[in-house]
Structure 1
């Protein structure tokens, strides 16, 4: 009798533990897949076609003179290597050198064939990205 009670208690404990863990799965911040990723709004303006073409086709560390651009006239872009983000999108970091000598880092991801949107670098806060 004691043995049956212990066995029933053990099985009940295991079931409660498994049930509790499975109910927590969707509440954990890291439990979402990349399919749950919310892409930037469709209304967000994409980067100009000329810049999108550079991001798609240019090789690493090439420097391009771009005018006009979202960062001002006559800026230089230096492109890093493209990579596949966890969202499944192709992304690319790049530097922008303004005529004033100020260099800023940027990140863009391809959201449709040839349509690139600038996104906030994960190392930036909203206040530091506003100054770029």
Structure 2
């Protein structure tokens, strides 16, 4: 099994993903999606690649634009984030 593609999550984001229940939100001054964003995490689930992943909704606090993303945990325990490609097709992404 190869390691996940994506951007490594920061310490604050990794801790949030590892410890918070579904529906929790955090505000990050710096993130893979830019500055000053709110991240809401869905429930953890096991992906087809046998990794623990979480769907995320990322909102820019400056203008309310939203982005759908996913974060998955590597075998070493690090979290990686990437865009949720299906959101481009179903209209869930506005930026």
Band the TM-score falls in, shorter-chain normalisation:
0.7 to 0.9
Say which structure is richer in strand.
2
The one of 34, 46, 49 equivalent to 1:84 is 46
Look at both structures and tell me which one has the larger radius of gyration over its CA atoms: 1
* CA offsets 1:26-53 (integer angstroms, 9 cap, x no match): xxxxxxxxx5xx4335xx5411111011
Any gaps of 5 or more consecutive residues in structure 2?
Answer: 89-93
Structure 1 unaligned regions, length at least 5: 1-34, 126-130
Q: Would you say the 8 A contact 2:28–2:38 is kept in 1?
A: yes
Report the TM-score, using the length of structure 2 for normalisation: 0.78
- Runs of 4+ displaced beyond 3 Å: 38-41
Under a length normalisation based on structure 1, what TM-score does the superposition of the two structures give? 0.58
Larger proportion of helix = 1
Q: How many residues end up aligned between the 2 structures?
A: 90
